[in-house]
Chains A and B, each alone.
Chain A
């Protein structure tokens, strides 16, 4: 029972980040038909931008961080992600999509991923960094850890889940209820028709690339103080978000978010899973859920992925 609550909260907190990343992947795919392999690396760039603005490139202490400084860092990250996302679409994706070249856009996205990796790795030399927490969770419970019955969990994971749900809801609401969102939906359904009725398809898509990247980076930054953030962590978020988005066939934003939560839960469960009394151990959490997603893909069980006769 105690373990269950711990697994649930930890899994949902991690899954919320995957879920928002999955929303980003879904929107990108629905708008353009491409898979944004550099998405996670751009999130990493956002997170490290905020780290650089908040505390510089030196190892940070766990001691507090002013709220104003943190807000500035968050803003800088949003700005960088927006610009990087828009530039990615305009400079390396759209030209190849227009040419109908699959290898072209894959190459372009790979180039962005490589450039983002090089940027982060050249400036941040250590394998991982600890983010100071801007919010005073450490004053709650024992250094931010709360005991509920026999379960122990970080109080900030509840906060991360809350922010994740708010961001997912905001994305869903934007798509459904705003002019911008409805225009994106129209483009996703038929870009040619959207262009014919006068929608600035290229500009809207570019903005969407920026916004979804910034959204995901914000949540990654909110979640980052929970654990050390490595130079590859952004890419791993991108990968797990993609796994979640792809397994529901890039269906709508809510399903992508739910799949992300499910992925996080599966990870947490795989770590604590016991089969016949023998525990699988934490090593499996990184491997099992991803392996299951690949199996589902390979088995052709995911909607619309198989190249088939009609």
Chain B
């Protein structure tokens, strides 16, 4: 190929990629986005020229909206109730102010350094606190924001004391002096970027996985979602955005003042996020707009009764918050979206060819001498089994005999007290569920209901992320050709899987709205979509009628034919006989029989312990 031809083909590919990206954008564009874009453009062009508008105040609020959008992603998508987000803004503001005032750094570098400092702080704190239960995550971030605030109060040498760190002159950016107007434009650009990033990420597999983990963390991990890692990413990204917002707001104000980065800032951001709607891209920004508007309207009234408005503002925020929580707590934007139904946009047609579902990894799952106790109770004792590719094994036993415990030991969501689990030659005993899924073992959880707020298609997409190679946050945001192609393929594959198992018509329905048997089947399809070929299913047939269980039998047969190894915990003995090649019977945690269904049916010990007079 000549250089010219190579260049031409590269150009062609670029054009194709850009065209594809534009098409995706067209497909996801909605009326609220058009409205937001119009409001945004009007604000950017008209606001600086409207007489009576304090441009600097508006710019400060837009920076706040930018920070709130980042917080909204952590709270609404990531499910991490960060109560001390103002702490990150304070770190950014004072890091950049110190560098500017004391070390003479130029503005953009100092602001970026502020963002980096906040991100570093977020990383250090996040590594620890992201694994905490939500209550403690809220508590520890709240304590952190207090720590920052108390630190600034206690060390005037760092914070400049009551007066704060005063900038000598406004910074400059790209040769422009940073007047309030320039700040406003910069803030609007940042806000638009944050909202777009929120929208893109929350629809990407990364965001869907986070949503899944927010709704049912353990179910998500059993499908390979690395909850802590994804949440930490959102937390650190949010911290960086918060730090940048703090640095810019300080430059705009001309001073980094400890009192404006106190605990009230954190609470105000949290209120704005809840009021607007944490889980929608436009929610946090709308929340800031509402809070600011209410403060502005109430200001003259509180002044009239002789109270300084700033002192009374928290009460207004409290009332707003309670009203929104009373209305269901989803926030104003989702509420409006429900009240004003918009024509639903079709999802982008899967124009990609489904990726070939990866060849089954022929590995057998083995357990030796597993034991698990809960206090005095021995739930499982000395369990050994070998599950081979192409084999369907049922695990039965009376209630409380340890079936689910056994399945969870094999799936990794419980750690055995004794004994080993291996996959092929590999010891996987200490591997947590997300890693075990990648190694090839997926499990569904007893009474699992899937992720109620995701669609069936998105549910399966979350499961495919365990195999994703190009689904990182940066790639998703930049919509790189590789990431787009992989996402399109995964989407096509998920749709094909749903079609194949008779769930095609449910693809775009919310999982919460599916019937019980459809949902049970969806859980199996999702476990299969992880690429794992050892599937551990806890009561896959729960609640289904006999006709409906036919579909389950066909699905299990299809998976067996592909060489998958299945272990089912099942109560319905008719189903067990129809499905299983071998049956393992537990009683009080001990294996009392292991054989073909026919052998088990004849086994006297089993009948005594479990079946009573009934016949298998």
Contacts and interface: CB of A to CB of B under 8 A. Distances in A.
Interface of A: 33-35, 37, 92, 96, 101-104, 106-108, 110-115, 117-119, 121-122, 125, 235-236, 239, 242-243, 246, 283-287, 290-291, 293-295, 297-300, 302, 305-310
A309 B83 CA distance: 25
A52 to B, nearest CB: 16
Contact of B318 (A111, A242, A299): A111
A305 B329 contact: no
Interface in B391-438: 412-415, 432-433
Given A115-B318, A307-B217, A286 B153 contact: yes
Contacts of B128: 295, 297-300
B135 A34 contact: yes
Contact of B135 (A33, A92, A110, A295): A33
A125 B321 CA distance: 25
Contacts of B317: 111, 114
Contact of B321 (A34, A110, A119, A308): A110
A118 to B, nearest CB: 3
A238 to B, nearest CB: 10
B325 A104 contact: yes
Given A121-B311, A298-B125, A107 B132 contact: no
A298 B140 contact: yes
Given A112-B318, A307-B133, A287 B307 contact: no
Contact of A286 (B142, B154, B319): B154
Contact of A37 (B83, B147, B150): B83
Contacts of A306: 131-133
Interface of B: 75, 81, 83, 125, 127-129, 131-136, 138-140, 142-144, 146-147, 150-151, 153-155, 217, 263-264, 267, 270-271, 274, 278, 307-308, 311-319, 321-322, 324-325, 329, 412-415, 432-433
B318 A114 contact: yes
Given A117-B264, A118-B314, A119-B315, A107 B129 contact: no
Contacts of A92: 322, 325
- Closest 7 A-B residue pairs measured CB to CB? A298-B128, A118-B315, A114-B314, A114-B318, A111-B318, A118-B314, A121-B311
A227 to B, nearest CB: 15
B143 A293 contact: yes
Contact of B154 (A242, A243, A284, A295): A284
Nearest to B142: A37
B550 to A, nearest CB: 35
Contact of B307 (A108, A111, A122, A291): A122
B30 to A, nearest CB: 25
B274 A294 contact: no
A108 to B, nearest CB: 6
7 contacts: A110-B271, A115-B319, A118-B316, A119-B315, A243-B143, A297-B140, A305-B136
A183 to B, nearest CB: 24
B135 A283 contact: no
B143 A122 contact: no
A17 B485 CA distance: 61
A92 B326 CA distance: 9
A118 B321 CA distance: 14
Given A37-B139, A309-B414, 15 more contacts: A34-B135, A102-B138, A111-B317, A114-B314, A114-B317, A115-B314, A115-B319, A118-B318, A286-B153, A290-B143, A297-B128, A297-B136, A298-B127, A307-B133, A309-B432
B412 A103 contact: no
A307 B139 CA distance: 14
Nearest to B266: A110
Contacts of A111: 271, 317-319, 321-322, 325
Contacts of A242: 139, 143
Contact of B415 (A122, A300, A310): A310
Which of A33, A115, A285 neighbours the largest number of chain B CB atoms within 10 Å of its CB? A115
A254 B75 CA distance: 35
A117 B308 CA distance: 13
A9 B206 CA distance: 54
A297 B83 contact: no
Most buried by A among B129, B321, B325, B415: B325
B328 to A, nearest CB: 9
A299 B329 CA distance: 32
A122 B311 contact: yes
Nearest to B330: A103
A310 B319 CA distance: 41
Contact of A294 (B143, B270, B318): B143
Nearest to A91: B322
Contact of A309 (B136, B264, B270, B415): B415
A236 B147 CA distance: 11
B267 A110 contact: yes
B538 to A, nearest CB: 16
A283 B58 CA distance: 36
Contacts of A308: 131
A307 B218 CA distance: 10
Contact of A106 (B83, B133, B140, B415): B83
Contacts of A287: 147, 150-151, 154-155
A35 B135 CA distance: 7
Nearest to B433: A309
A96 B325 contact: yes
A246 B136 CA distance: 9
Nearest to B124: A298
A305 B131 CA distance: 9
Contact of B314 (A117, A236, A290, A293): A117
